[in-house]
Structure 1
Amino acid sequence: MLDFQIKNPTLILDEAICRRNLKKMAVKAKSLNLKLAPHFKTHQSLKVAEWCKDYEIDEISVSSFRMAFYFRDRGFKNIHIAFPFNPLLIEDLSLMQGQPVSIQLVNEEVARLVSQKVERSIGFFIEIDAGYGRTGVPVENFEVIDNILRVIAENKNMNFKGFYIHAGHTYHANLEGIKKIHKENQEAFRVLKAKYQSQYPELVCRSGDTPSASLMENFDHIDELGPGNFVFYDLTQAAIGSCNKEDIAVALASPVVDVKVGKNEILIHGGGVHLSKDVLNDNEVKNFGEVVLFEKDKWIIPAERAFLKSISQEHGLIHAPDALMERIKIGDVIGILPIHSCMTADCMRSYRTLDNDLIDHLEGTMK
């Protein structure tokens, strides 16, 4: 059991695992001569940001201006807002004075507005869609890219940094699928560099997904990595093969409120408002999270898998093997590895370390 009392669902962060993940990715990037500019939307924590600096991370990505404000003045050389720029927030750029920042453009209309309104030095990436289909300029649409660059050039405060691709479809692919997507992204960057690098010799190409960053070794035509989930990982990443379950750095500590003998079920206080309702399907069996058992300064993964087979707003129902049923009693606290750590962290809004230190989160309040 943990050395401190847990009465309500609490997100536990294993600092050692988190730091191991950071170090591994930082070492990999450095060995491949790639800049690591991780996305902070996973942890959203000033304390974790400080850990990042221990591994020579000096540029970051975020998903909103609110998040950019949270990490402003923390010594980062640049904060990139990795989301199609929202023109309703044009005035917010002025609030980032003193903090180098870059934005993401996907169409000529917003580029023109930015060009007309921005009065301070701002960097920008053009987001490219190389197959994901969510957002970005289709890689073959040079007309839109040229128009963005043309209208932005009218404002000398705007600095073109390069091209950005987030291949979100790697999160739903197997290893062969990830390899295929990664090659498609590399080819997209190759084509873009061939066309634009003579005019913009300092442009860089940034790839932003965790599966590719974790699993691939060849990063030809890519200069920077911007993954986010790798800092915590989760069961989705483990299912893909991006990590092992032992690499998952967060677990929801959940009180046991009922043990249903004869049904092999354990009822916990821990549901959708804590974990989100992300789910993995294994042969049509739903998995909303998997059980770990807390020891004094760590958690262990049971030899026989136990998983959340259903959740509602506050309740979670675990399918438990006999060995776990014999071990767990009402009033115990067990851990749940999340399906999607980013969403779980956002739901919980703070962390406790295994030493009972409170760790901040953008959406929470330090107490």
Structure 2
Amino acid sequence: MLETITSPTLLIDEKICRRNISRMAEKAAKHGMELIPHMKTAQSHIVGEWSREVGIREITVSSLKMASYFSNKGWSTIHIAFPFNPREINAFNELASQQKLSIQLVNPVVTQLVAEKLTSAAGFFIEIDAGYGRTGVPYQQTAIIDEILAAAEKNPLFSFRGFYIHPGHSYYTKDIVGIYEESRLALAELKALYIAKYPTIKTRIGDTPGCSVMDDFGDIDQLGPGNFMFYDVTQVGIGSCSLADIAVALAVPIVDIQVEKGEILVHGGGVHLSKDVLYEPDGSKNYGEVVYLREGAAWEIPKQRSYVKSVSQEHGIIKASDELLQQVSVGDLIGILPIHSCMTADCMKSYYTINGLHIDHAEGAS
């Protein structure tokens, strides 16, 4: 496989990816919860099939376009976890006539517009904000929730599925336990308030840091993380996983080595890795961690760290360890573990396994 690579190529280690999926499915089962993974990271039918093999039947996506890509492939329901865009209602109706869908609502105005124009049966979750602040109805504002429910009830095709929280601030603070406590309490309070009228409603929480490290989810019904399938260097820093759990690596050719500067130039820049960045203790930037690529085998984590210190459109400059400088030559391939695997996968639009099998990606589909 490696000898055929001539330009930046995203590799996926099937064994690691399957292990990550199985581990999260086992955690959900242990707590009597459903795992409904977010496919925004993998965006792949084949990875979806790996998920189906551990019993997953419903998935989450982040756009109507992604829902269309996954539709009619045997998924019981596809949930679009982004505040619904009413300009897409006609396209949504068409897809919902073929595939069971649900959407995310955050205000009564959009709910009213959807209720007026919905022609195919669909469900909805109300997104709740319990502290993140990005989007959603603040959980204390039940008057807004009541307005959303009243507007939705005007169309019998519209069914309330429950409450959804994405506590994305778990990416930015070490107090994941505290974040989960506030999220769990908010969901529990809302469920208790509305379950008499809506006895089938569920509560769902979806963020990889919390779903990875927590082992007490209280009475939450469903887990909905996405990045856990691949993980990345950001998740390592948070404590969600180890470098050995990262399932994707960008293979890049070495085009120049400056031993005296301790730098290596690779063909692999922002259009391949994205420009997501972490910061080293000295304030320097890190765009990805270097690994060694081995033919027909998983990549190997070096004993001495090397990382991508800067990127432009096509260029990447690696701050190289002595070990790396001694092991590689111009023309060799090295691997880069991404800072944000979702964005790197979206940039690259396809994968290859370490054995050369092509893995599809929604953005690369014709």
TM-score range (shorter-chain normalised) is over 0.9
Q: Separation in 2 of the partners of 1:360 and 1:40?
A: 13
For residue 298 of structure 1, give the secondary structure of its aligned residue in structure 2: strand
Look up the match of 2:238: 240
Look up the match of 1:276: 274
Aligned: 1:219 with 2:255: no
Q: CA deviation at 1:285?
A: 2.1
Runs of 4+ in 1 over 3 A off after TM superposition: none
Look up the match of 1:27: 26
Look up the match of 2:130: 130
Range 208-217 or range 278-287, more displaced: 278-287
Amino acid at match of 2:195: Q
Q: Separation in 1 of the partners of 2:331 and 2:23?
A: 37
How do residues 183-202 of structure 1 correspond to structure 2 at under 5 angstroms? 183-202=181-200
How do residues 176-325 of structure 1 correspond to structure 2 at under 5 angstroms? 177-283=175-281, 284-296=283-295, 297-325=297-325
Aligned: 1:59 with 2:54: no
Look up the match of 2:166: 166
For residue 363 of structure 1, give the secondary structure of its aligned residue in structure 2: helix
Look up the match of 2:78: 79
Look up the match of 2:7: 8
Look up the match of 2:361: 361
Amino acid at match of 1:92: A
For residue 331 of structure 2, give the secondary structure of its aligned residue in structure 1: coil
Q: CA deviation at 1:221?
A: 2.7
Deviations 1:183-214 (A, max 9, x none): 11011111101211111111100001011110
Amino acid at match of 1:180: G
Deviations 1:119-160 (A, max 9, x none): 221100000011111110011111100000011111111110
For residue 260 of structure 2, give the secondary structure of its aligned residue in structure 1: coil
For residue 262 of structure 1, give the secondary structure of its aligned residue in structure 2: helix
Look up the match of 2:114: 114
Q: Separation in 2 of the partners of 1:257 and 1:25?
A: 39
For residue 126 of structure 1, give the secondary structure of its aligned residue in structure 2: strand
Q: Separation in 2 of the partners of 1:190 and 1:91?
A: 35
For residue 330 of structure 1, give the secondary structure of its aligned residue in structure 2: coil
Q: CA deviation at 1:4?
A: 3.6
Look up the match of 2:350: 350
Would you say the 8 A contact 1:4–1:356 is kept in 2? no
Provide the alpha-carbon RMSD of the alignment: 1.0
Amino acid at match of 2:171: Y
Structure 1 unaligned blocks of 5 or more: none
How do residues 147-162 of structure 1 correspond to structure 2 at under 5 angstroms? 147-162=147-162
How do residues 131-146 of structure 1 correspond to structure 2 at under 5 angstroms? 131-146=131-146
Structure 2 unaligned blocks of 5 or more: none
> How many equivalent pairs are there?
363
For residue 303 of structure 1, give the secondary structure of its aligned residue in structure 2: coil
Q: Separation in 2 of the partners of 1:338 and 1:244?
A: 13
Q: CA deviation at 1:5?
A: 1.8
Q: TM-score, normalised by structure 2?
A: 0.98
Q: Separation in 1 of the partners of 2:187 and 2:322?
A: 52
Deviations 1:72-116 (A, max 9, x none): 011010000000000000111222223110001000001111111
Identity over aligned pairs, percent:
54
For residue 273 of structure 1, give the secondary structure of its aligned residue in structure 2: helix
Amino acid at match of 2:5: I
Q: Separation in 2 of the partners of 1:323 and 1:116?
A: 65
Amino acid at match of 2:363: E
Deviations 1:341-364 (A, max 9, x none): 000000000001101111111111
Q: Separation in 1 of the partners of 2:39 and 2:169?
A: 20
